[in-house]
Chains A and B, each alone.
Chain A
Amino acid sequence: MLELKGVRKRFGGQEVLLGVDLSVKKGEVVALIGPSGSGKTTLLRCANFLETADEGTMIFDGERYDMARARRAEIAGIRRRTGFVFQSYNLFANKTALGNVTESLIITRKKHRKEAEEIGLEALRRVGMADWAAHYPSQLSGGQQQRVAIARALALDPEIIYFDEPTSALDPELIGEVLAVMRSLAEGGMTMLVVTHEMSFARSVSSRTVFMAGGAVVEQGPSADFFRAPREERTRAFLASLAEERK
């Protein structure tokens, strides 16, 4: 479904991605883990063209794209088929929860308001936020905002959703509700690429885990194997440091 090959990106003099290869099959949930600053966010942003990669090939649904030179129409086409959930939610501050979800349905998909609202309410229902449809983002907790953000992505019926540390900005007691929604999406067969620091989520929900460090993929494998017996020293050190933090 998605294949990234040789993705390179530098910011000024700093090489952030050193030729990353990554693939996600249809229906697969891939966890992307790694220390802060290793380039995970940048990789997701390049995949959705919020940043332009310096080099790299993307194969999306069988179509091949040059990530450094994708045309505007190609970018729009890819974005139309992907969802993106930000660490900081980024809900539209001037729209209600429902308005956030229906905005693009109405504006880019040309749906009538009524139809858009039906789809929107259904999406909000899936994340348990239908009762909050009329609330503005500022009236919602972080966990609620993030669930609305997930609904906003869902409503557009994406083929894959990218999550960039969706629970990192949340108070600990709110993390569970967001992870529960993501777990149910995974069980429903949604294709997901999830940057996360939640190892229990990676272990129990994702089918495959990819470990990145210093702008490159260090190790990857089926999540069960990956966590039971990491092969690389750097992976072990990273997992140990997380376990240490937990204490």
Chain B
Amino acid sequence: MSANVWQLLVDSFPDILLPGLIQTVPLTVISFSIAFVIAVGVALIRYAHVPVLEQLARIYVWAVRGTPLLVQLYVVFYGLPSVGVRLASFPAAVIVFSINEGAYCAEIMRAALEAVPVGQMEAGYCVGMSYWQIMRRILLPQALRTAFPSLGNSLIAMVKDTSLASNITVAEMVMATKYIVGRTYQALPLYIELAVIYLMFSTVLEFLQRLGEKRLNASVGREVKRIA
């Protein structure tokens, strides 16, 4: 590789990384946090078989998982303005990623809740605890431990998916790279550089995931069950 290309890579590195830090990372963190809240709510509704809400929850998960993320982004960002809902690109992306990720995480949380033996709930009742006390203090903590590895995987997948936000004009890393490619015509090295930066992000998350798992294992004195 020529010295020019090296120089280009070095120069472009901060120009790609910076949008990553101020767009990709916040988009991921905010969306995943909202998604997690949605997921716990939906999982609780489905676990307890709350009438009507359970059907709605099912439809939500079905609709989100059965449609492409890119199409969901288009509907919200390019579609909704025609009915008067005009959103800036970043909030639109947050909404779509939250709702999308929420559906996937809801399924993970539901499976994890259902994997907690019924005896845990019954033992709680027998020492006089209420449904919500048992849910909050016994079932959810155990379900979270079970779900943790899968939630981590889902988060890592989501970081990569945020690249799609460039399609609705979010100035994240893909957008930034495209812009530099347009100027320099060095598509191969620049896109490889972009890939490497994504790889860095994923690697950091994988590291955190493993650290988290270790902590959780230590806090129940054993290895947590893994569910697919």
**Closest B residue to A109 using CB positions:** B128
Decide: A86 and B222 in contact? CB cutoff 8 A: no
Decide: B221 and A136 in contact? CB cutoff 8 A: yes
Q: In the assembly, what is the distance between CA of A156 and CA of B137, in Å?
A: 18
Cβ of A152 < 8 Å from any Cβ of B? Answer: yes
Decide: B127 and A90 in contact? CB cutoff 8 A: no
Cβ of A83 < 8 Å from any Cβ of B? Answer: yes
Interface size on B, residues (CB 8 A): 22
Q: In the assembly, what is the distance between CA of A92 and CA of B117, in Å?
A: 10
Instruction: Knowing A80-B128, A107-B133, A108-B133 are in contact, say whether A92-B123 is a contact too (CB < 8 A).
Output: yes
Cβ of A207 < 8 Å from any Cβ of B? Answer: no
Q: In the assembly, what is the distance between CA of A126 and CA of B221, in Å?
A: 24
Query: Chain A residues near B125 (CB, 8 Å)?
Result: 48-50, 79
Decide: B120 and A84 in contact? CB cutoff 8 A: no
Q: In the assembly, what is the distance between CA of A48 and CA of B123, in Å?
A: 11
**Closest B residue to A152 using CB positions:** B127
Tell me whether chain B's interface is mostly helix, strand or loop, or mixed.
helix
Q: In the assembly, what is the distance between CA of A84 and CA of B125, in Å?
A: 10
Decide: B120 and A107 in contact? CB cutoff 8 A: no
Query: Chain A residues near B161 (CB, 8 Å)?
Result: none
Cβ of B126 < 8 Å from any Cβ of A? Answer: yes
Decide: A79 and B220 in contact? CB cutoff 8 A: no
Query: Chain B residues near A50 (CB, 8 Å)?
Result: 122, 125-126
Query: Chain A residues near B124 (CB, 8 Å)?
Result: 92
Decide: A90 and B120 in contact? CB cutoff 8 A: yes
Decide: A139 and B119 in contact? CB cutoff 8 A: no
Query: Chain A residues near B120 (CB, 8 Å)?
Result: 90, 92-93
Query: Chain B residues near A108 (CB, 8 Å)?
Result: 127-129, 133
Provide the B121-148 mask, 1 if CB < 8 A to any CB of A, else 0.
0111111111001000110011001000
Instruction: Knowing A86-B122, A94-B145, A138-B221 are in contact, say whether A104-B138 is a contact too (CB < 8 A).
Output: no
Decide: B127 and A136 in contact? CB cutoff 8 A: no
Distance to closest chain A CB from B158 (angstroms): 27
Query: Chain B residues near A79 (CB, 8 Å)?
Result: 125-128
Distance to closest chain A CB from B148 (angstroms): 13
Instruction: Knowing A104-B129, A108-B128 are in contact, say whether A94-B138 is a contact too (CB < 8 A).
Output: yes
B residues apposed to A, CB below 8 Å:
117, 119-120, 122-130, 133, 137-138, 141-142, 145, 219-222
